A = this chain, B = another copy of it.
């Protein structure tokens, strides 16, 4: 039985037929950082219920956004991973992150937070500071470490092999930078973040002049 569709011969409506249901794009947000297991997704999507997560994963598999891969030696454990079409959604999620950053001003009392939720917004800000040049930035927060590619924007869990710059901060400062309340150089000057590295990119991120 086909799911509910807008029944419009329109690229935007077609995209929303697949992506428009609740939670789908947030699952994509999680998987953009790399493969995740069911319980990982459940933990980083606070508010989703178990049946809805299972249903979305099945639908997204049918829509060829994700694949499930058996993991571990024995047992039922699986990892969910974006396909090529799923990874191609980076631009969509990036656009949403850019637009939504302006509405990130206040943290509500009931709002959950995860460190890697700031990956894409930070990548956009870092890309501005870098003036469009590419580079790999490793970001270290209390909750974990991830690394970003700036042009084009990519994002993956864990430390980078050879980062051009390493940014260490807390998620409060990350939120301030992501939302535009502060710039990264301002945060560095205020002692709320550190930027390590001797590359031009590290200089641009920290606001220091660095010899090329």
Binding site for B on A (CB under 8 A): 5-20, 22, 25-26, 29, 46-47, 85, 88-89, 91-104, 107-108, 110-114, 117-118, 120-121, 175, 178-179
Contact = CB atoms under 8 A, between A and B. Distances in A.
Contact of A121 (B11, B88, B93): B11
A97 B12 contact: yes
A94 to B, nearest CB: 7
A101 B175 contact: no
Contact of A96 (B11, B100, B112): B11
Contacts of A103: 11, 14-15, 17-18
Contacts of A94: 95
Nearest to A124: B11
Contacts of A85: 102
A100 B11 contact: yes
A16 B6 contact: no
Query: Copy number in this complex?
Result: 2
11 contacts: A9-B113, A10-B29, A11-B103, A11-B179, A13-B117, A14-B100, A15-B97, A15-B103, A16-B100, A20-B20, A88-B99
A111 B9 contact: yes
A170 to B, nearest CB: 13
A92 B88 contact: no
Contact of A14 (B16, B22, B104, B113): B104
B91 A98 contact: yes
Nearest to A172: B9
Contacts of A121: 11
Contacts of A88: 99
A159 to B, nearest CB: 23
B15 A112 contact: no
Given A6-B26, A8-B117, A15 B47 contact: no
Contacts of A14: 100, 103-104
Given A15-B99, A16-B26, A99-B15, A9 B92 contact: no
A154 B94 CA distance: 19
